[in-house]
Amino acid sequence: MMAEAKAIGGLARTGWRPRRTIVFAAWDAEEPGLIGSTEWGEHHADELRERAVAYINTDGNGRGFLNMSGSHTLERFINEVARDVTDPETGVSAFERRHARRLARGDTEDLAGTRDHRINALGSGSDYTPFLQHLGVASLNLSFGGESGGGSYHSIFDSFDHYTRFIDPTFEYGIALAQTAGRVVLRLADAELLPWDFTAFEATVTRYADEVVDLTDDMRETTERQNQLLRDGRFQQAADPTERYDPPDAEEPVPHLNFAPVRNALVGLEESARTHEAARRALVASGDRLSTDQARAVDEILFRTERAMTHPDGLPGRPWFVHQIYAPGFYTGYGVKTLPGVREAIEERDWGEAQKQIVTLADTIRQVATEVDRATRLVEPAGP
């Protein structure tokens, strides 16, 4: 981060000024509970909700492969950056090296139907949490790794000496990370229009919706099978008769939840995303440029689409977490739960809450589509 800030400071000394404000921050008290970033984020919450375009997080680094996680409205953008960063060990791009690793492992799904790597969703465990999941600021978490593990993490051996001997002795991957995050910052700061893309976001949310539908169907099948085994006395028959055995209680049958509101909302979002992408391409192809005021109006809609993914009441039982697409699991902590309101209600077998959360999720998706449509109308050329 300091190398990146130094480079940007060098640019500033030449007279360069970014279109958008850049703020560098180093957080204290991350390990006790993200205290530094959370307190700062809450203290500046109104200004951040009003003006913050994106939050870029780095937390740990090593040798190996580029890890990219975050908001899927930024998936295409971070893939473009990855193509322009050179991996210091192989000389190919960070994108190509990541691709090679996945191919070598037999993973062909990552680029299925697109030229981009899918990025992972963010749960918790680092300082992006208050920005993404409490304030609705689009976020990315970036690092290199995969070739420098060894069990030293959070031990007394996790030292500068260990890092320089075993992790990244030449600091080449520290440079690579600065080059990656630096490109992200500079391109976001100087873009004429923010590089938000909603096609990957829509495809990702559709995949998440498929997952929760499959989760419900699997639970129904499992429940029916177990209840039948109980009715047939199979658990008692299989138990050791010399020991006490109490079979599990029968489970309430899994109802057929109505996912139509979410499916219909996703159809609308898909159309909105495609129309917006076509309008952006047409604008570039025409050679026309938006005025400063027009670009600012579009930008404000674009970066606030992440706010549209939040709900003021938050998630059930934890109102601080307001994002309806990503959250750390209620019980898993670090691990992400996607479509958390719906998914966790299903996992808890709270069918009434699940149906309620389906409606909330559908409303959220429609709200995002409405904002995308607003941006599209400002980008489309005026009629004759």
- Spatial CA neighbour of 226 closest among 247, 204, 212, 255: 247
Q: pTM of this prediction?
A: 0.94
> Which pairing describes strands 54-58 and 64-70: parallel, antiparallel, or unpaired?
unpaired
* Polymer length of the chain: 384
pLDDT at position 333 is 81
CB contact set of 117 (below 8 Å; sequence gap of 6+): 68, 79, 82, 95, 98, 99, 102, 110, 111
* Mean pLDDT (10-residue bins), the chain, 384 residues: 94 96 96 96 98 97 96 98 98 96 81 79 96 98 91 88 93 97 98 96 98 98 97 95 93 97 98 97 92 96 98 97 97 93 98 98 98 96 60
Strand order in the sheet with 54-58: 54-58, 138-146, 64-70
Buried b (16+ CB within 10 A) or exposed e, 163-201: beeebbeebebbbbbbbbbbbbbbebbebebbbbbbbbb
Half-sphere exposure at residue 178, Cβ-oriented, CA atoms within 13 angstroms: 13
pLDDT at position 111 is 60
Coil vs helix vs strand at 372: helix
Q: Where does residue 124 rank: exposed (0-12), middle (13-18), buried (19+ CB within 10 A)?
A: buried
pLDDT at position 110 is 61
- At 355, give phi and psi (nearest 5°): -65, -35
Query: What is the helix (H) or strand (E) element at residue 85, kind and residue range?
Result: none
> Which pairing describes strands 336-338 and 138-146: parallel, antiparallel, or unpaired?
unpaired
Q: Under a CB-based contact definition with an 8 Å cutoff, are residues 140 and 74 in contact?
A: yes
Q: What is the distance between the alpha carbons of residues 196 and 198, in angstroms, rounded to a whole number?
A: 7
Q: Which CATH class is domain 199-379?
A: mainly alpha
Q: In the CATH scheme, what architecture does the domain 2-190 have?
A: 3-Layer(aba) Sandwich (3.40)
H-type alpha helices, 84-198:
94-104, 129, 160-162, 172-190
> Which pairing describes strands 138-146 and 64-70: parallel, antiparallel, or unpaired?
antiparallel
- Domains in the chain: boundaries: 2-190, 199-379
Structure tokens at 212: 């929760």
Q: What is the distance between the alpha carbons of residues 335 and 248, in angstroms, rounded to a whole number?
A: 28
